[in-house]
Amino acid sequence: MYPSHYPDGFTEAVVDALLAEVDATVRPVYRSTSPVAMRDVDVRRERRAMRRAIGAQVRVLPVAGPVVVRGEAA
């Protein structure tokens, strides 16, 4: 709005200098994923795969013989 008015005293150059200083001094933190945290993901993945395999098997099963309802052939 007002390019020459900086009420806090931080001009664009000052902010850029501060960001450059922080970028130079901060190191990234690398954390490995905990096997305990990944357990739930693995269990869900296995269950999904099992449901898909069972569902695919049920879809391809042939119907053997006539359907019998209460002792009578339908």
Q: Which domain holds residue 17?
A: 1-28
The answer to whether position 51 is within a domain reads no
At 36, the amino acid letter reads: V
CA 12 to chain centroid, in Å, comes to 37
Give the pLDDT confidence score for residue 40 in this predicted structure.
76
Q: Is residue 59 part of a domain?
A: no
Q: What is the number of structural domains in the chain?
A: 1
Residues in the chain: 74
Residue with tokens 């994923």: 33
Return the higher-pLDDT residue of 35 and 56.
56
Examine residue 11 and state whether it is found in any structural domain, yes or no: yes
Residue 52 is assigned to a structural domain of this protein: no
Q: What residues contact 66, with CB distance under 8 A and at least 6 apart?
A: 73, 74
Residue 34 domain-assigned?
no
4 in any annotated domain: yes
Q: Is residue 15 part of a domain?
A: yes
pTM, 2 dp: 0.33
Q: Which amino acid is at 68?
A: V
Flag whether 50 is in a domain.
Answer: no
